[in-house]
Amino acid sequence: MYSTNIEFFGYFAAILTTAAFLPQLIKTLKTKKADDVSLITLIMFICGVGSWIIYGYAISSFPILIANIITLMLNTFILISKIYYARKY
Amino acid sequence: MYSTNIEFFGYFAAILTTAAFLPQLIKTLKTKKADDVSLITLIMFICGVGSWIIYGYAISSFPILIANIITLMLNTFILISKIYYARKY
Q: Which domains does chain A have, with CATH numbers?
A: 2-88 (1.20.1280.290)
Tens-digit pLDDT profile for residues B25-82:
999 999 999 999 999 999 999 999 999 999 999 999 888 899 999 999 999 999 999 9
The residue of chain A with its CA nearest to that of B22 is A41
Q: Would you place residue B2 in the very low, low, confident or very high pLDDT band (cuts 50, 70, 90)?
A: low
Number of C-beta neighbours around residue A23 at 10 A: 17
Q: Is the CB of residue B89 less than 8 Å from the CB of residue B33? A: yes
Give CA–CA dist A11/B47, Å, rounded: 13
What ipTM was assigned to the predicted interfaces of this complex? 0.91
B41, B47, B55: residue with CB nearest A10: B55
Mean pLDDT confidence for A74-87: 97
Which residues in chain B are closer than 8 Å to A12, comparing Cβ atoms? 48, 51
Residue B69, CA atoms < 13 Å, CB-side half-sphere: 9
* Binary contact (B45, A9; C-beta < 8 A): no
With 90 as the cut, is the pLDDT of residue B3 above it?
A: no
Q: Is the CB of residue A63 less than 8 Å from the CB of residue A7? A: no
Residue B71 Cα, gap to closest chain A Cα (Å): 11
Tens-digit pLDDT profile for residues A11-26:
999 999 999 999 999 9
Give CA–CA dist A68/A53, Å, rounded: 6
**Model's pTM, two decimal places?**
0.92
With 80 as the cut, is the pLDDT of residue A2 above it?
A: no
Report pLDDT for A12: 94
